[in-house]
Structure formats: structure tokens, C-alpha cells
Amino acid sequence: MSGLLGKKIGMTRVIQEDGRVVPITVVQCAPNVVAQIKTVEKDGYSAVVLGFDPLKKATKTRKFHHMKEFRLEEGKEMKKGEEVTVEIFSEGDEVSISGTSKGKGFQGVVRRHHMAGGPASHGSHFKREPGSVGARAKPGKIHRGKRMAGHMGSETVTSKSSVVYLDKKNNLVGIKGALPGGMNTLITIKKLA
């Protein structure tokens, strides 16, 4: 199995044997359940769909709040209903982490793109504005991709890190550094080859 779904709990730190202090984000990975199996014969590839955070009242078609597909290694087989725990990881494993970053709403160019703005004193009316945005009459439009004010945050962020702490009894994984999103954000952890 190559990955797991979990919930971000918060940040803390771990003091290693050589005295270094390592900041970690703790992710609670309650046992994921195999909800569906995809086979080469039927789907063209082998994978499993893991379910995380079971619904209080399961319906005919939906039994979990979150579901995610993970590829299976060649030769490995799993059964529907089987549980996947944090035991697939070990300390020092390199992992890829995905999550949704915190939403920051509609922001101007100074905060969103770190533009300088204009002078802040002596009667200047050009403070936090974007300035000139287009060319002349020839294009007669603003080109696609121009950095302007707009919606910021609330997007999928993926980063690489390593597993520093593992608590198999309480299903906790400590990942080095900060992870995207606030408390209780859904985090996808994938083991790197």
C-alpha cells in the first residue's frame, strides 16, 4: 500500500537524540478501510479506494466522508473491508503530502502578489493599487495571466517531507515541517519510492 488519508491535528516538536529540535505536524490516521478494489481485467489498472471517517448513517452508495484512490504495487492483493493503518510507514520514510490550504478570501495585489504599491505619504493617491494593467490600443485587452487582485488560498497544495514520529497505538504520524490547511483538514500521505 502506498498511501493513507488522515486528519491534521496540530503542530508540536520532537527533540532528537543528537539534541536537534525538529518541528512536526501531527496527523491522525484512523484506520482507512478498503471501500473498492480496481483490477486490471475490469478497470485496466490495479488500485484500491480507501474510505476515511465513516458516516454515522451510511447509505447504499456512500459510507465514508472521504474516499481516495491509491495505486497498488505489483503482486499485492487486498480484500474489500480490510483496514490499512499507520504501520505501512516507518520513521525516516520520504512522503508526499497533499491538502487544501487555508482560504484567505478576495485579496489585493499587495498581499496576493507582494507588489510594492505606491508612496505612502505627501498627498499620493496611489497606495495599494496595481498600477497600469494593459498595453495600448493595439491589443485592446488585458493578457491572460496578468497578476491582479482575486481569490487567494483554498487550493490544493502538495509538498514533500519525511516521517519523524510514529505512534502505532494511537494511529498518529508526525511529519517534519508545516502542512497545508487548518485543524481537521483532510491530508493525503503518499509514500515516495
> What's the pLDDT tens digit per position in 13-64?
999 999 999 999 999 999 999 999 998 899 888 999 999 999 999 888 889 9
Residues 6+ away with beta carbon under 8 Å from 175: 24, 25, 27, 95, 97, 161, 162, 163, 164, 189
Q: What's the CA gap between 59 and 64, in Å, rounded?
A: 9
- Selected residue with higher pLDDT from 77 and 55: 55
Query: What ranges do the domains of the chain cover?
Result: 3-55+64-103+149-191
Domain 3-55+64-103+149-191 has CATH 3.40.50.300: no
Average pLDDT over residues 154-183: 95
∠ Cα 69 72 77 (to 5°) = 115
Burial class from Cβ neighbours inside 10 Å (0-12, 13-18, 19+) for residue 50 reads buried
* CA–CA separation, 104 and 102 (whole Å): 6
Q: What are phi and psi of 41, to 5 degrees?
A: -65, -45
Residue with cell 510507514: 89
Q: Is residue 134's pLDDT more than 90?
A: no
Instruction: Indicate the SS3 state at residue 16.
Output: coil
